[in-house]
Amino acid sequence: MKLTSAQKKAHDSAMKKKFKAAAFDIDGTLTDIRKFIMPGHLIKTLAHIPGHVPLAICTGRDIEHVQTRLQHICDAGPQTNEHRTRWFIFCENGGIGFFYDCRTQKYKKFFEIPWPNKKITQEAMQAFLKDRLGWHAVISIRTHSIIVHFPRPFYIFPRFINHVSKKTASRLTKIIDEMGLSKDFSVEDSGIGSVIIPRESGKGKAIKSWSEHLRIPIKDILVVGDQAQKGKNDAEFLSGDYGTSFTVGAQTPSVYPLPVLDSTGKKLWGPEGTQYLLEQIKFA
Ligand SMILES: [Mg+2]
């Protein structure tokens, strides 16, 4: 893959950097978007990162889903309290952040962006969207977000789901605009469904809160995702304003997110790219 001179400079400097924390999207980044499975060697690699620096999972999904995923990773690494206090979870596209509390052995909230009920309740928005989107849209209420996904058989065909997801996200954006709520909510396409979140929420903003919590410069955080294009759910996360970002999905015309390149200069995608990046990158 050919890099611009600005990208080459940013890439060289990122590969020399000693990162002080790392945050990862799940779907398409740690798992293959077609199979939803995390490769065994990547689980092992991830499990050892909190031995060096804090690690966060930053996703549109909810805490229950992430905890199950995280358990596989935690089980593959050391079970010490010191290690476990370096695990963080940011769910619902940055709507809620959790840290691991060793005393209670549970994840505890450390920030949240509430749904603005004064504008519209989640139930009212769900009912309205159900009416407009039709049978194929499954609309679920999460703690501080609304998720729009599709019936299970749709997920057998990755290209099809990607297409339906994109179309639905643009439809939702229009509907929310017609409702006069585009100043209050954003619609983000994850490639497998849409997440509707308050404007104050976002994966990038969660990384900013985290850098303040950890008291480390935001550029010293490595962030990796796969949906960086405009309107997608990693657009803010991977913009380069919130950490040093890499994508294992499609590139954008900007310098950030940087691509993951193998020794021959070939761009790597998905969990394979994340694994390769983690073998090359240095932690403080
Ligand atoms: Mg993703």
Which of residues 151, 167, 198 is at a domain's end?
A: 198
245 and 143 within one domain = no
State the distance from the centre of ligand 1 to the C-alpha of 162, rounded, in angstroms. 12
Domain of 185?
122-198
90 and 219 within one domain = yes
- Facing residues of 221 across strands? 21
106 and 10 within one domain = yes
DSSP helix/strand/coil, 94: helix
State the distance from the centre of ligand 1 to the C-alpha of 225, rounded, in angstroms. 6
150 and 55 within one domain = no
pLDDT value of position 69: 82
State the distance from the centre of ligand 1 to the C-alpha of 27, rounded, in angstroms. 4
State the distance from the centre of ligand 1 to the C-alpha of 148, rounded, in angstroms. 15
State the distance from the centre of ligand 1 to the C-alpha of 171, rounded, in angstroms. 20
Q: Which helix (H) or strand (E) holds 280?
A: helix 270-280
pLDDT value of position 148: 96
State the distance from the centre of ligand 1 to the C-alpha of 192, rounded, in angstroms. 9
135 and 211 within one domain = no
Determine the Cα–Cα distance for residues 195 and 139; give it in Å rounded to an integer.
10
State the distance from the centre of ligand 1 to the C-alpha of 224, rounded, in angstroms. 9
DSSP helix/strand/coil, 193: coil
The CATH code of the domain that includes 143 is 3.90.1070
- Facing residues of 31 across strands? 27
Which of residues 198, 231, 264 is at a domain's end?
A: 198
State the distance from the centre of ligand 1 to the C-alpha of 92, rounded, in angstroms. 12
181 and 144 within one domain = yes
State the distance from the centre of ligand 1 to the C-alpha of 126, rounded, in angstroms. 24
169 and 96 within one domain = no
pLDDT value of position 36: 74
194 and 129 within one domain = yes
State the distance from the centre of ligand 1 to the C-alpha of 217, rounded, in angstroms. 25
Enumerate residues 6+ apart whose C-beta is below 8 A from 228: 234, 235, 237, 238, 239, 245, 247, 249, 250, 251, 252, 257
- Total domains in the chain come to 2
pLDDT value of position 187: 96
> pLDDT (tens digit, 0 to 9) for every residue of the chain, 284 residues total?
999 999 999 999 999 999 999 999 999 999 987 677 899 999 999 999 999 999 999 999 999 989 888 888 888 888 788 888 999 999 999 999 999 988 898 899 989 999 999 999 999 999 999 999 988 899 999 999 999 999 999 988 888 999 999 999 999 999 999 999 999 999 999 999 999 999 999 999 999 999 999 999 999 999 999 999 999 999 999 999 999 999 999 999 999 999 999 999 999 999 999 999 999 999 99
206 and 108 within one domain = yes
Which of residues 198, 232, 256 is at a domain's end?
A: 198
Our CA angle for 11, 15, 19, nearest 5°, is 120
Determine the Cα–Cα distance for residues 63 and 37; give it in Å rounded to an integer.
18
The CATH code of the domain that includes 205 is 3.40.50.1000
Q: Which helix (H) or strand (E) holds 99?
A: strand 96-101
190 and 92 within one domain = no
State the pairing for strand pair 18-19/282-283. parallel
93 and 132 within one domain = no
pTM of the model: 0.94
State the distance from the centre of ligand 1 to the C-alpha of 104, rounded, in angstroms. 31
Phi, psi of 145 (to 5 degrees): -150, 170
- Terminal Cα-to-Cα distance of the chain (whole angstroms): 29
- Contact predicate 197/185, CB 8 Å: yes
State the distance from the centre of ligand 1 to the C-alpha of 93, rounded, in angstroms. 11
DSSP helix/strand/coil, 231: coil
105 and 208 within one domain = yes
State the distance from the centre of ligand 1 to the C-alpha of 190, rounded, in angstroms. 6
State the distance from the centre of ligand 1 to the C-alpha of 109, rounded, in angstroms. 23
Q: List % helix, strand, coil for the chain (3-state, nearest 5).
A: 40, 25, 40
State the distance from the centre of ligand 1 to the C-alpha of 257, rounded, in angstroms. 14
State the distance from the centre of ligand 1 to the C-alpha of 28, rounded, in angstroms. 5
pLDDT value of position 20: 98
